[in-house]
Structure 1
Amino acid sequence: MKARLVAQAKAEGFTDARVTGPDAIPQAAARLARFVALWRHGQMGWMAERMGRRGDPRALWPAARSVVMLAESYSPAEDPMAVLARRDRGAVSVYAQGRDYHDIVKKRLKRLGRWLIAEAPGAEIKVFVDTAPVMEKPLAEAAGLGWQGKHTNLLGRGLGNWFFLGAIFTTLELPRDAPEREHCGSCTRCLDICPTDAFPAPFELDARRCISYLTIEHKGPVDEALRPKLGNRIYGCDDCLAVCPWNKYAAAAHETRYAARDDLDAPRLADLAALDDAGFRAKFSGSPIKRIGRDRFLRNVLYAIGNSGDPSHLDRVDALTQEADPAVADAARWAAARLRRRT
């Protein structure tokens, strides 16, 4: 059954599939509690809420006997860091340049789950893609898909670190795979590249300094000391992923819907700054970017414009100082002041 399940997962488009159990991450609860106690979760209150279920998969669904962890590659075709030198353009994280992965992966998981139920009558399943209190990375490590590197992201010897994770919890007893061990060695490239020093130590992250957190999850103004370090990153950050040496073994992405849309591959900051709410929603329909809303996105764009050194943006920036959203107006004033210092 397990061999056929893995074969079916790959036929559905997943890059790899491994099996672990809901009791396989006993260390997760304590690690999560420490992370939250240090306030490294920032404004992500949902990490502190329901910690019991998040830290122990058995509490999430006591009937589960096996957890099938699945990886789906989204490896970029080009160097994602090249755009960082183009200050008139915005840098969008690779995963958000195409179709929202939540929709694609969840549909695949449901199809695979239906297959499993048909093959094992009486089995029950629940599928998860990053939207429930499930600690996917520790479970994936326990299943042998990879290990959490010094940047805290999951990477695998045959996967690199450009892949999404999905989970199928099931009441079916399946043979478990051996967990993967850490293979980072003495390499510190991911730690050294971080623009904001978001890693207090190897294998530890302080989200409050992470550009992905600051541009996506953080509400309100970003600390002024960190704004120049954002550069032109307007949604997420791929630096620590991009420099990982294990990417030379990364699996190729086969899902064409993850490919970068033409208008999200280094979009012009001037065009993005001109978006009203209706324009934002139309442009980002079907994109994960839509979730943060126009105001937070525009705040990010204004920080990037302030870092661009290009005074041709000043007319638009001055107009945005009158925006109703206080974080946008604050970002516009900050950007205007930066640009005027360059003139």
Structure 2
Amino acid sequence: MSSAQPSPEKLVAELRDRAHALGFDSFGIAPADARPDLPEKLNAALAAGWHGDMDWMEETAARRGSPTGMWPEARSVIVLGINYGPESDPLAILGEKSLGTISVYARNRDYHEIIKGKLKDMAGLLARRSGAEVKVFVDTAPLMEKPLAEAAGLGWQGKHTVLVSREFGSWLFLGAILTSADLPGDIKHEESCGSCTRCLDICPTNAFPAPFQLDARKCLAYLTVEHKDQIPLVFRAPMGNRIYGCDDCLAVCPWNKFASVSREAKLRAREELERPALADLVQLDDAGFRALFSGSPIKRIGLARFLRNVLIAIGNSADESLIPLVEARLDAEESIVRGAAIWALRRLAPDRADDLRLAYLARESDSSVAAEWTGDI
């Protein structure tokens, strides 16, 4: 080691200080090969089909199973977390059926943008001080951050599969730096859920086949964000007014009592996304959608999928004042929007839906949308 390079211990201390200065709340290091069990677990989940139509998970399985599978030169992984604990109970709005519920993580700026710049700063420091190679990841590459965060001592994967921290509960954004440097690792965090099953019991769609296992095909976070087609019928009523994501399993975690509101101003929720009215959201056009969700992860799903979610929520609202706004979407260009509008109308005004059915069926070319009118879904 040249005299210009600090010892690994001093380098880690310097990195920890820099992480804190940048606004990170958690910092840990693990050997790149710390989780040899991951390929087997990943392959079992893929074989069960729990990834739904997230084909990229299967396509990248060989790399996803291990950091060294993705980058053979990797020797250490630095995992960092930012607390995004909410100011109020995110489940309270579920009872206000004419409002839309947006997952806490999506109520502020896109966390990818927030964290990536900070990680690059950290990685640059590491490269300059050690001469090692570095790669930065923020949930956009085949890297399993949560189990690596557990190995790095940040917390443990709870029964809901989300990382749980003693200091921040279930509210941590994660990012990682892979490096060719051999750095001293932290102590792996032991699972500390005990006998608690609150996260499993509250799930509105029974998406957990067993503790520590998640079937994404039944998860509202997956269905409202990743799923590109119509929401399966069995999950529409349980969806309630959740229009983007689902916080139920995170919000009931007892460890959240230690999670303070984020000290990072950039992670504070945008007021207009905390209690949005379904009546306003369903009237958005493409320009309005892009303007409202500028800088938000919600923009990535596009207007059509978003309107699909909003219309399902309207169908669950029992708010008959929204019927004209639903009818305005029966002629939407996108089939998933038309289908969701039909379902919402049949829920709010079944007689009105019957009156309109034949006229709309006569000009409907999409069989899935026609099935919404006839009830053959």
TM-score bracket, normalised by the shorter chain, equals over 0.9
- CA distance, structure 1, for counterparts of residue 162 and residue 343 of structure 2: 33
What residue is the counterpart of 2:355 in the other structure? none
Q: Which residue of 1 aligns with 2:121?
A: 111
**Contact conserved, 2:85 with 2:168, CA < 8 A, in 1?**
no
Q: Which residue of 1 aligns with 2:44?
A: 34
| TM-score for both structures, normalised by structure 1 | 0.98
Q: Deviations over 1:36-57 (max 9, x none)?
A: 1111100111110121100011
Partner of 1:239: 248
One-letter identity of the residue aligned with 1:21: P
* 2:216 counterpart of 1:221: no
Picking from 125, 128, 138, the partner of 1:129 is 138
Following TM superposition, by how much is the alpha carbon of 1:243 offset from its aligned partner in structure 2, in angstroms? 0.3
Q: Equivalents in 2 of 1:164, 1:342: separation in Å?
A: 47
Unaligned runs of 5+ in 2: 1-10, 353-377
1:257, distance to aligned residue in structure 2 (A): 1.8
* CA shift digits 1:180-209 (9 cap, x unpaired): 111000000000111111111111111011
Query: Which residue in the other structure is 1:289 paired with?
Result: 298
Q: How far did 1:251 drift?
A: 4.5
Query: 2 CA distance for matches of 1:293 and 1:337?
Result: 25
TM-superposed deviation, 1:342? 9.6
| Residue of structure 2 equivalent to 1:254 | 263
CA RMSD in angstroms comes to: 1.1
Deviation at 1:268, TM superposition (A): 0.4
Whose relative contact order is higher, 1 or 2, with alpha carbons under 8 Å and at least 6 apart? 1
Structure number with greater Rg is 2
Deviation at 1:171, TM superposition (A): 1.2
User: How far has the Cα of 1:341 moved from its partner?
Assistant: 4.3
Does the 8 Å CA contact 2:110/2:297 hold for their aligned counterparts?
yes
Offset of residue 67 of structure 1: 0.4
1:19 counterpart SS class: strand
Match of 1:148 among 150, 157, 175: 157
Measured against aligned partners, the alpha-carbon deviations of 1:71-99 in whole angstroms (never above 9, x if no partner) come to: 11000011101110111100000000010
Tell me which amino acid in the other structure corresponds to 1:20.
Answer: A
Amino acid at match of 1:79: D
**Equivalent pair of 1:72/1:165 in contact (CA under 8 Å):** yes
Q: Distance in 1 between matches of 2:28 and 2:102?
A: 30
Aligned to 1:234, the other structure's residue is in SS state: strand
Q: Which residue of structure 2 aligns with residue 263 of structure 1?
A: 272
Please tell me whether residue 139 in structure 1 is matched to residue 158 in structure 2. Answer: no
Q: Equivalences for 1:1-343 in 2 at 5 Å?
A: 1-120=11-130, 122-341=131-350
Q: Which shifted more, 253-262 or 19-28? A: 253-262
* Amino acid in structure 2 at the alignment position of 1:192: D
Amino acid at match of 1:99: R
- Deviation for aligned residue 1:340: 0.8
Going from structure 1 to structure 2, the CA distance change for 1:277 and 1:334 (only over 3 Å counts) comes to: same
Deviation for aligned residue 1:3: 1.6
Letter in 1 for 2:267: Y
SS in 1 for 2:234: coil
Give the secondary-structure state (helix, strand or coil) at the position aligned to 2:284. Answer: coil
**Residue type at the aligned position of 2:265:** T
Moved more, 71-80 or 255-264: 255-264
Amino acid of the structure 2 residue aligned with 1:219: K
The 3-state SS of whatever aligns with 2:154 is: coil
Does structure 1 retain, via aligned residues, the 8 Å contact 2:99–2:241? yes
Q: Aligned partners of 2:26, 2:212: CA distance in 1, in Å?
A: 24
Q: Is the 8 A contact 1:311 1:342 kept in 2?
A: no
Distance 2:145 2:349 in 1: 46
Q: Show structure 1 runs of 5+ residues with no match.
A: none
Q: Percent of aligned positions with the same letter in both sequences?
A: 56
Contact 2:115 2:138 in 1 (8 A): yes
Query: Deviation at 1:22?
Result: 1.2
The size of the alignment, in residue pairs, is 342
Normalising by the residue count of structure 2, what TM-score does the alignment of the two structures yield?
0.89
Alpha carbons 1:309, 1:342 under 8 Å: kept: no
Secondary structure, aligned partner of 1:226: helix
Amino acid at match of 1:298: L
